[in-house]
Amino acid sequence: MLSQIEQLTTECLSAIESAKDQKQLEEVRIKYLSRNGSIAELFEALKTVPKEEKPLLGKELNKLRTKAESLFSEKKLSVDDSISQGAKRIDLTLPARKVELGHKHLLTQTLDEIKSIFKGLGFSVYEGPELESDYYNFEALNFPADHPARDMQDTFFVNKEFLLRTHTSPVQVRLMEKLQPPLRAIMPGKVYRNEAISSRSHCMFHQVEGLCVDTDVTFAELKGTLVAFAKQFYGRELNYRFRPSFFPFTEPSAEMDITCFLCKGKGCRVCKHSGWLEVLGCGMVDPNVFAFANYDTEKYTGYAFGMGIERTAMLKYGMTDIRTFFENDVRFLKQF
């Protein structure tokens, strides 16, 4: 009987397999799987075999039936070319129903990227007010009154005491007033300069400030951190240089340049033929600033940095007019 089962298995499965349409398949079903089909006949015959052979033969027979039934239902779907009852033919080429995702502003997206890199480097994120006092914006950052350094930043004043912050650096001072070292934080936000609005400059833009204070922070660590950031943000194949500069609240101060990514350092209009693009200002926190925060300058050292976002985004996305950011034309907003 075992050989009978084996023979039927081969026969039945190949019959199902080779059925070409519904009709043939139905014939196969009647022949093998119906109540009077070949498989049922064998089950009938099973009753008469000796008792000790029953378990094995029963198991084999069951296997055959399960296999045949599953192959049959699979085949049935594949030879079925009829449309479901009640279904209509539709024009699938009509346009899709409109669903629109919203868009974060390109500057927000750029800021998000910068934040996420610095968060990965162990920095916290803090914020501060935009309407600032002269004390936080200038004095505590070591800009003496009547010093030409103040000319570096054209300021919108509300009165003698209050102004729209010209940089995010005042948040450094606020942070140091509030917290004790170790500190490792970035402070993004809007800043304002009273500069004529043109394709290259605007009266409002965004900065990200950075501050790190601890017992043994050095210029070498400042370089290391900013290079790590720049490689993540601008790309691995990056050439950079740190060039001495001046900010009243850092000493020594530097500007970080990276190879112009448009001309790869050969010199072009964007980099003013220097091959370099200035991407941020930085330096070691000036002891005078620590003094305003009552930090012990013999115990702590620190570094600070600040970068503008607009120019970075413009370079990255090939934009030529900074005003585009604040005109809020949805055709621009939806591009990114």
Partner 1 sequence: MKISLNWLKEYIDLSDISVDEIVSRLTMSGLEVESVEDQNELFKNFIVGYVEERGKHPNADKLSLCVVNNGKEKVKVVCGAPNVAAGQKVVFAQIGAVVPSSGMKITKAKIRGEESNGMLCSEAELGLSEDHSGIIELESSIKEGTTISEALHLNDVLLEIGVTPNRADALSHIGVARDLAAIFQRELKYPSLQLKDSKKRIDDYASIEIADTTNCPRYSAKVVLNAEIKESPEWMKRRLKAIGLRPINNIVDVTNFVLHEMGQPLHAFDLDKLAQQKIVVKKAEPDAAFTTLDGKERKLPDGALMICDGEKAVAVAGVMGGENSEVTATTKNILIESAYFSPSSIRKTSKALGLSTDASYRFERGTDPARTIFAAERAAALMAELSGGEVVNACIDAYPNQLAEKEITLRFAQVKRILGYTIPELKIIAILNALGIKVIKEEKEKITVLAPLFRPDIEREIDLIEEVARINNYDEIPTISKIAIPISEKVDESEFVDELRSIAVGLGFNEILSIPMITEKAARIFGEPIELLNPQGSEMGFLRTSLMASALHSVEKNINVGEKSLKLFEIGKVFKKVNTELNSFDDFVEEERFLFILTGKSTEKEWYSSEKEYDFFDLKSFVNEAFRKKTLDNLLNDSYYHNANKIFDYSFSKSHGKTLLGEGGRVKKAVLKQFGIQQDVFCFEGSVEALKTITGKEKTFSELLRFPKMNRDFAFILEKEIPSNDVVSFIKKKGSKILKDVHPFDLFEHPSIGETKKSVAYSLSYYDPERTLTDEEVDKDFHQLIESVTKAFNATLRGK
Stretch 92-111 residues interacting with partner 1 (CB under 8 A): 94-95, 97-98, 100-105, 107-108
In angstroms, the CA 217 to CA 10 distance is 79
Residues for the chain: how many in total?
336
Report the largest interatomic distance among the alpha carbons of the chain, rounded to a whole angstrom. Answer: 116
Smallest distance, partner 1 to C-beta of residue 124, A: 4
Give, as ranges, the residues between 181 and 240 that touch partner 1 (CB under 8 A): 182-185, 188, 190, 194, 196-197, 203-204, 212, 214, 216-221, 223-225, 227-228
- Give 24 or 288: the residue with its C-beta nearer to partner 1: 288
Give, as ranges, the residues between 275 and 294 that touch partner 1 (CB under 8 A): 284, 286-287
Cα–Cα distances (Å) from 161 to 133, 146, 151, 193, 204, in that order, read: 6, 14, 17, 17, 20
In angstroms, the CA 201 to CA 203 distance is 7
Residue 223 has a CB neighbour count (10 Å cut-off) of 16
Q: Give me the amino acid identity at 17.
A: E
Residue 24 dihedral angles phi and psi, to the nearest 5°: -60, -40
Give, as ranges, the residues between 38 and 77 that touch partner 1 (CB under 8 A): none
Smallest distance, partner 1 to C-beta of residue 199, A: 16
- Give 72 or 247: the residue with its C-beta nearer to partner 1: 247
Give, as ranges, the residues between 122 and 181 that touch partner 1 (CB under 8 A): 122-127, 129-131, 133, 145-149, 151-152, 156-159, 161-162, 164
Give, as ranges, the residues between 251 and 280 that touch partner 1 (CB under 8 A): 251-254, 272-273
Size of the site for partner 1 (CB under 8 A): 89
- Give 264 or 272: the residue with its C-beta nearer to partner 1: 272
- Report the interhelical angle of 219-234 vs 106-120 (nearest 10°): 130
Question: Which residue, 40, 20, 44, is CA-closest to 30?
Answer: 40
- Give 228 or 262: the residue with its C-beta nearer to partner 1: 228
